[in-house]
Amino acid sequence: MTWGTVAAFWSDYTLRTVAAGAAVIGATAGVLGVFAQLRRQSLLGDAVSHAALPGIALVFLLTGSKAPAALVAGAAVTGWLGALCVTGIVRSSRTSADSALGLVLSVFFGTGLMLLTWIQRRPDASQAGLDRFLFGQAATLLTADVVTMAALGGGAVLVLVLFWKEFKLLSFDPGYAALLGLPVRRLDILLTGLLVMAVVAGLQAVGVVLMSAMLVAPAAAARQWTDRLAPMAVLAAAFGAAAGVAGAVASSLAARTPTGPAVVLAATVIVLFSLVFSPRRGLLAGAWRRWRRRRDLRLHGVLLDLFALAGQHGDPTAAPHAVAVLRAMAAGGSVRRSLRELTDRGWAAHAGGDLWTITAAGRGEAERFLADRAADGQREAAP
């Protein structure tokens, strides 16, 4: 990107509005998503966002208003109702959480679509403005919309920060929180309410069908980089904002690309990158660790064989051994390659032909290795 495009970006009203809105949504959803992930409620957002649709349709049916604040309020009411239905069904019957989620999301969404077709049918009103709530349409965002989003998202994050300690305890150890006398039920309902706020804030830009992914993806990505809650929340906010901006900008630049899917794909890319490249938990780091462990095991196997053979002679370093002998003793892997690598480290020496011998440094390493193992064994036997 050259400075020219950056300047063009900042002078373009639509792009600036879209980017600001998407950043707000992504950041809010990222922070709230971290808590949802901790509480194993990643899919609750799915039910909430689908359940928001009938609220949008109802507000329009009853008031005829398409003002974002009114529609979002309606979405929040039915979304919250959906979340309460899920917890209520799980608590009061044998229906499991996954069934309750699937049921609530499909029934509420179906009802919402039913209401939308009812609106469509009326001669006096077109539902044109409501369709964008399905998959989101960032290009139509106005400054007023962004202000609504920022107020909702900022409010949710503010409450979250105010009750940070309580929510943290509730998420990690609800039993202990109850023991300390915290109003666990009320905190639970409040946190769910904040989740609903984060979801409805994003509906207009990302759409009800895919908003739930914004609660899952940034949090899952942030989880890979840290084990601490506060940095995780900050990272998730950053990832969410980045995905929001990237997706929204892509969608308003490319023709016929709905925003919701574009944002979700951007977030997915961030997750994939984190899963593969994060330094401690990442798949690459894990593969590298496993590879090194296997190599060390193979090298030490051959080294210990050499050490054992040498111990049977008077002058250990003067008694070379044939590769064939070592190969017979080895558990697996290429003995010749291990010998070359041992030589590189100065633990073994080539004695001409097919003969190899252990060096003084190699003896030291083998003794240290055996002492370590013996100490491990004692530690395991001790308790």
Partner 1 sequence: MSPQVEIQLIAAATAVACSLVGAFLVLRRMAMMSDAISHSILLGIVVAFLAVGDLASPWLVLGAAATGVLTVALVEALHRTRLVKEDAAIGLVFPALFSLGVILLARQAGSVHLDTDVVLLGELAFAPFDRFAPGGTDLGPRALWLAGGVLLLDAVALGLFFKELKLATFDAGLAATLGFSPALLHYGLMSLVSVTAVASFDAVGLVLVVALMVGPPAAAHLLTDRLPRMMGLAALMGAASAVGGYWFARWLDVSIAGAMAATVGAVFLSALLLAPQRGLVAAARRRASQRLEFALAMLAIHLAQHESGPDAEDECRADRIHLHLHWEPGFAERVLRAAEQRRLVRHEAALVRLEEAGRVLARGALTR
Window contacting partner 1 (CB under 8 A); options: 39-47, 181-189, 305-313, 321-329? 39-47
Q: Does residue number 249 form part of the binding site for partner 1 (CB under 8 A)?
A: no
Beta strands in 151-263 (DSSP E): none
In angstroms, rounded to a whole number, what is the distance separating the alpha carbons of residues 260 and 252?
A: 11
Question: Please, which residue, 212 or 338, has the CB nearer to partner 1?
Answer: 212
Query: What is the total residue count of the chain?
Result: 383
- Exactly one of 191, 236, 271, 302 binds partner 1 (CB under 8 A); which one? 271
Residue 258: how many CA atoms within 13 Å on its side-chain side?
Answer: 17
Q: Does residue number 126 form part of the binding site for partner 1 (CB under 8 A)?
A: no
Q: Does residue number 244 form part of the binding site for partner 1 (CB under 8 A)?
A: no
In angstroms, rounded to a whole number, what is the distance separating the alpha carbons of residues 129 and 56?
A: 11
Question: Please, which residue, 107 or 329, has the CB nearer to partner 1?
Answer: 107
CB of 280 to partner 1, least distance (A): 11
Q: Which residues lie closer than 8 Å to 30 by C-beta, 6 or more apart?
A: 214, 218, 219, 222, 233, 236, 237, 238, 239, 240, 241
Q: Does residue number 222 form part of the binding site for partner 1 (CB under 8 A)?
A: no
H or E segment and range at residue 126: none
In angstroms, rounded to a whole number, what is the distance separating the alpha carbons of residues 24 and 193?
A: 18
Q: Pairing state of beta strands 348-350 and 321-322? A: unpaired
Q: Does residue number 9 form part of the binding site for partner 1 (CB under 8 A)?
A: no
H or E segment and range at residue 349: strand 348-350
In angstroms, rounded to a whole number, what is the distance separating the alpha carbons of residues 236 and 268?
A: 13
Q: Does residue number 105 form part of the binding site for partner 1 (CB under 8 A)?
A: yes
CB of 281 to partner 1, least distance (A): 6
Joined tokens for residue 120: 């469509």
Q: Which residues lie closer than 8 Å to 14 by C-beta, 6 or more apart?
A: 139, 252
- Exactly one of 64, 110, 364, 377 binds partner 1 (CB under 8 A); which one? 110
Window contacting partner 1 (CB under 8 A); options: 115-123, 194-202, 325-333, 358-366? 115-123
Joined tokens for residue 370: 């055996």
CB of 283 to partner 1, least distance (A): 6
Distance of CA 241 to the CA centre of its chain: 14
In angstroms, rounded to a whole number, what is the distance separating the alpha carbons of residues 363 and 87?
A: 65
- Exactly one of 29, 115, 146, 191 binds partner 1 (CB under 8 A); which one? 115
Q: Does residue number 212 form part of the binding site for partner 1 (CB under 8 A)?
A: yes
Sign, CA torsion 203/206/211/217:
negative
Q: Does residue number 186 form part of the binding site for partner 1 (CB under 8 A)?
A: no
> If you search the block for the tokens 């053979």, which residue do you land on?
309
Q: Does residue number 118 form part of the binding site for partner 1 (CB under 8 A)?
A: yes
Q: Does residue number 218 form part of the binding site for partner 1 (CB under 8 A)?
A: no
Question: How many residues bind partner 1, per CB under 8 A?
Answer: 60
Q: Does residue number 204 form part of the binding site for partner 1 (CB under 8 A)?
A: no
Q: Which of 60, 58, 69 is nearest to 203 (CA)?
A: 69
- Exactly one of 223, 298, 300, 321 binds partner 1 (CB under 8 A); which one? 223
Q: Does residue number 114 form part of the binding site for partner 1 (CB under 8 A)?
A: yes
In angstroms, rounded to a whole number, what is the distance separating the alpha carbons of residues 37 and 271?
A: 14
Contact pattern for partner 1 over residues 43 through 62, marking x by CB under 8 A: x-xx----------------
User: How open is the CA angle 130-133-139, to the nearest 5 degrees?
Assistant: 95
CB of 355 to partner 1, least distance (A): 46
Q: Does residue number 268 form part of the binding site for partner 1 (CB under 8 A)?
A: yes
Window contacting partner 1 (CB under 8 A); options: 89-97, 299-307, 357-365, 373-381? 89-97
Q: Does residue number 285 form part of the binding site for partner 1 (CB under 8 A)?
A: no
Q: Does residue number 102 form part of the binding site for partner 1 (CB under 8 A)?
A: yes
Q: Does residue number 198 form part of the binding site for partner 1 (CB under 8 A)?
A: no
> If you search the block for the tokens 């409805």, which residue do you land on?
200
Residues that bind partner 1 (CB under 8 A): 37, 40-43, 45-46, 89, 92-96, 98-103, 105-118, 121, 134-135, 209-210, 212-213, 215-217, 219-220, 223-224, 256-258, 260-262, 264-265, 268, 271, 275, 281, 283
